[in-house]
Structure 1
Amino acid sequence: MSVISFDTVIEFIETLSIPEQEELFELIKKRRVERRHSEIVKNAQETFEAMEQGTAKRGNLEQLRSYLLADEEE
């Protein structure tokens, strides 16, 4: 698969009609939403698996903050 530069992509998009550009932008937006949805589903599945295995960390916001800050200090 050949790589196309970002500038080339922009130049190509500018050759499209306004309706074609709008359709392209909507398609990109839809695909980004779908990709994010898939990431959320995957994260949820991993969390449920961790809960079932007893490896999920539980706590309130302050405990989570302390846990995350402790990781930064290491």
Structure 2
Amino acid sequence: MQNISSFQQVLEIVEALPLEEQAVLVNIIQQRLRQQRREALLERVAESEQAYSADQVHRGSVVDLMRELDD
């Protein structure tokens, strides 16, 4: 069993659980993933707000963007 990856070991352990416990585990993992995504989004929002406050954000239309890229 030493040659089996830790991920594979986890899968085998989970598969050995009763179905009810597997469902609870899936629910817990989904909640934690949602929370991690939420936290990552909040970090990106904070970074964007800082960039906006520091006047590091450009605003304009697609035409403005294309004009700037051509220059």
TM-score computed with the length of structure 2 as normaliser: 0.75
Where do 5+ consecutive residues of structure 2 fail to align? none
CA–CA distance in 2 between the matches of 1:6 and 1:41?
29
Where do 5+ consecutive residues of structure 1 fail to align? none
Count of equivalent residues: 62
Amino acid of the structure 1 residue aligned with 2:44: N
CA–CA distance in 2 between the matches of 1:59 and 1:7?
50
TM-score computed with the length of structure 1 as normaliser: 0.72
Report the equivalent of 2:11.
10
Q: Structure 1 vs Structure 2: percent identity of aligned residues? A: 26
CA–CA distance in 2 between the matches of 1:26 and 1:20?
10
Cα RMSD for the two superposed structures:
2.0
CA–CA distance in 2 between the matches of 1:59 and 1:21?
50
1:58 CA drift (Å): 2.7
